A and B are shown apart, each in its own frame.
Chain A
Amino acid sequence: MNAEVVALSAPWEALIVCSLLLFAPALASQRPMPAWQLGGCAMTLGMALFASSGTVAFAAIALGGLLHAVEAWHQTRTGAIFLAASALLCFGASAAMAGAQLTAAFLLSCLAVALRAGVLPFHVGVAALCDRAPVVQTQQLASAIALVFVHLRFVDHHATAVELAPLLVRYGAAACFIAALMTLVQRDLRGLYRGTTGMHGGMLLAAMGAASLGNFAAALLVAVAMGLALGGLGLVITSLEARVGPVAFAGPGGRARTFPRLAAAFALFGGAGVGLPGTAGFVADDLLLHTLWMESPVSTVTVILSSAMLAVATLVGFSKVFLGRTTPSLAPDLHARERLVMVMLLVGLLTLGFAPWALLGPADAFLSGGG
């Protein structure tokens, strides 16, 4: 196949993943966005991924962020404000790109990613989304992946990015570690989701730092794996809470027998988030660790320990929600549409786990060339 055609498949593949996350809640009938908003978000995603200039791409991401902010407003103003702030930063990056101010664009873009991915201490908005609007959080992950794609493509290639790479790697690793540590002591399901998101946010920032040194594909895979795993987890949490209300870790939950499919989906998405073999998370972690090592072995060890802690926290969370003496419930297990969406997300995670080259080969060629 022609090399150009192969390289051009990267935005298409990213678009498929982003669309999956964007439309998943609607397909699963979980508080769907109005059609005009959904269509608008999809259009901005397409524009961002296929734009030939950074100015247009960042502007499209900003518009998408504003649409998510509008959706979040009724559920959490904090989340909406932070999404809007991230959109403003993207507009700023767009303007900086137009003025050929690559350093400013890089810094603004990094901040926007930190706000959207929930990197400590910029995680307040994302934490609010995790607490009060997990559906919006799932959907905004779609445009967060697109933002990372645009960042890697347009602003991660110049001298400032390389100079700041060590800082990003170390900062990301530290944020990842602190978030994982906090996840160990959460007392409810939303807290677990919040902590997991924060840990992945730190990991993503570290990956973006490593990307500046030429490892673009690793950062994109981390973003995609994070999006699919956290998106799936968000859907599972939404489905569960629609049936049983908010879940505290007061004692054993005993829901595995009542909701076996939900339990299985939670285990699989939670596992994918901590590098379960066979999923994209495993390859993403492995690739990230090797790329981080080149910059900072200490950061590599920090990320490995963070992942270990998060795995323990996830199992503890699973045991508190699903294991224990059976709690009877009249609510049904996952219905057909929810199952379909979760299977689609799982197929995405497994495909990238078993055949990572499907995304990474084209993405690396596309992003390394600076678009």
Chain B
Amino acid sequence: MTILHLALAVAILAPLAAVAVLGLRVLLGDRHPSELNTFRTIGAGLLASLVASAVVAGAFAGLWAPSYRGDIEFGDWLRIGDFVIPGVLLVDGISVTISAFAAALTAVIARFSRSYLHKEPGFVRFFVLLGLFATGTQLVALAGALELFFAGWEMIGIASAFFIGFFHERDEPVRSAVRAFATYRLSDAGLLIATVTTFELLGSARFSAFDRAASLPPAESSIIALLFLVSAMGKSAQLPFSGWLPRAMEGPTPSSALFYGAVSIHAGLFLLLRVWPVLEVSIIARSVGVAVGLATALYAAAVVRVHTDAKGALAHATLAQVGLILTEICLGWTTLALVHLVCHAFLRLGQYLKAPNTIHDTHRMGHQHAGAGWLERAAPTVAARVYSASLHRLRLDDRIDWAFSPVLRVAEALDGVDRWWRRVLSADGGAQ
């Protein structure tokens, strides 16, 4: 095992090991670990991950040995006959960039949160989720095959849902968490179908095998590319899945900053950068991506102008930029997209973390009203309609609820039949 192997393993597993240590302590005896112990345990995992990410970046840059890039093998996670889930990580420009910046931002957020969440009842829970999230992001960043990527992708989704529902004593955060999780699961389903399809069509789910995508028939490559696009749209809150993002602001500010300002919201875009060889050959998927990205940017820009709370406005401002980055990727400007993504993540992280202070200052110093915009001056009626539609965010949530209501009606009907069937065959007294 080389230093690079070790560094990659530590980058991914150190936060998870810290979570396991803390979790076992809670489960086996110490019901209320102190804030200091919690921070030290998870912080040690995050710090180890950050150092390991830096080592990987150093190895990639060739600081102490010839530069290394490509697949790093850890043996097979599973091998049954012809079916193999490879334990493979990938070191390249994209993975090293995302790994290092995600590790750094997570460590910063951990330090910030130690003070911000002092004496908060969910302190331990927050840090456990942060550790899970760190493992998920490192896995997503460094995975060399779709199966490992999917594992990280799911961990991010689960941590995200629990962060949104962090203040679970109120109803609204819990409802928002369920809605975000449902969207994530839809996006996960898309990614899982794409993973299985890719494996069957390309013979491997390794990212390094994606170069063979050019040899696929156009219909097949388009189906895979569209599935990846749907996954990315769900994870990155692109239209029509944008409704969950403002609701996600129910979580604590540090998690909003990390998830919806910096890392998680960009995970879908990272997926598209990773599977770019498949996307590149599908004009249909790229056209859809451009249309969705631009529509989301326009929608978010319109909504942000009427938003009355700071975090909600920031969420839509983020969405507008994410829409533009999606457009850049689908236009083929992948390097620009990666730079845009990283810069945007840093900017938003700062803005989200400063949001509570900004609100405080605004309350103290009063609002400054902006003058009429160009649209209001040029077409007041259109501006009024845009304003009105923006106020209720195009009723996205209502439309999605409406689309899914037949599914729930069918489920109710099936449940009724099931109850009847069990009653008929029951030998027990009482209601079933």
Contact = CB atoms under 8 A, between A and B. Distances in A.
Given A185-B415, A287-B78, A304 B193 contact: yes
A339 B78 contact: no
B361 interface: no
A217 B169 contact: no
Contact of B80 (A265, A275, A309, A360): A360
Contacts of B315: none
A276 interface: yes
Given A264-B26, A312-B178, A323 B165 contact: yes
Interface in A290-312: 290-291, 293, 297, 300-301, 304-305, 307-309, 311-312
Contact of A81 (B76, B408, B427): B427
Contacts of B188: 308
B81 A181 contact: no
Contact of B27 (A81, A261, A305, A308): A261
The dominant DSSP class at the A interface is helix
B373 interface: no
A326 B169 contact: yes
A278 B23 CA distance: 15
Contacts of A309: 185
Contacts, number: 153
A214 interface: yes
Interface string B149-191: 0111011001001000100110100100110011001101100
A339 B154 contact: no
Given A186-B415, A325-B169, A283 B181 contact: no
Given A277-B151, A357-B76, A182 B418 contact: yes
Interface in A175-219: 178, 181-182, 184-186, 214-215, 217-218
A256 B408 contact: no
A48 B105 CA distance: 54
Contact of A128 (B24, B85, B428): B428
B411 interface: yes
- The interface size bin for chain B is 35 or more
Interface in B68-125: 76-81, 83, 85, 121
B151 A282 contact: yes
B196 interface: yes
B426 interface: yes
B394 interface: no
Interface string A142-182: 00000000000000000000000000000000000010011
B309 interface: no
Contact of B174 (A217, A261, A323, A361): A323
A308 B421 CA distance: 26
B372 interface: no
Contact of A182 (B154, B182, B415): B415
B410 interface: yes
B28 interface: yes
B65 interface: no
B428 A77 contact: yes
Contacts of B418: 120, 182
A230 interface: no
B414 interface: yes
Contact of A312 (B16, B31, B85, B181): B181
Interface in B333-383: none
6 contacts: A124-B425, A181-B410, A277-B151, A286-B147, A289-B192, A304-B193
Interface of A: 76-78, 81, 120-121, 124, 127-128, 131-132, 178, 181-182, 184-186, 214-215, 217-218, 252, 254, 256-257, 260-261, 264-265, 271, 275-278, 282-283, 286-287, 289-291, 293, 297, 300-301, 304-305, 307-309, 311-312, 315-316, 319, 323-326, 333, 339, 342-343, 356-357, 360-361, 364
Interface of B: 16, 23-24, 26-28, 31, 76-81, 83, 85, 121, 136, 147, 150-152, 154-155, 158, 161, 165, 168-169, 171, 174, 177-178, 181-182, 185-186, 188-189, 192-193, 196-197, 199-200, 407-408, 410-412, 414-415, 418, 421-422, 425-428, 432
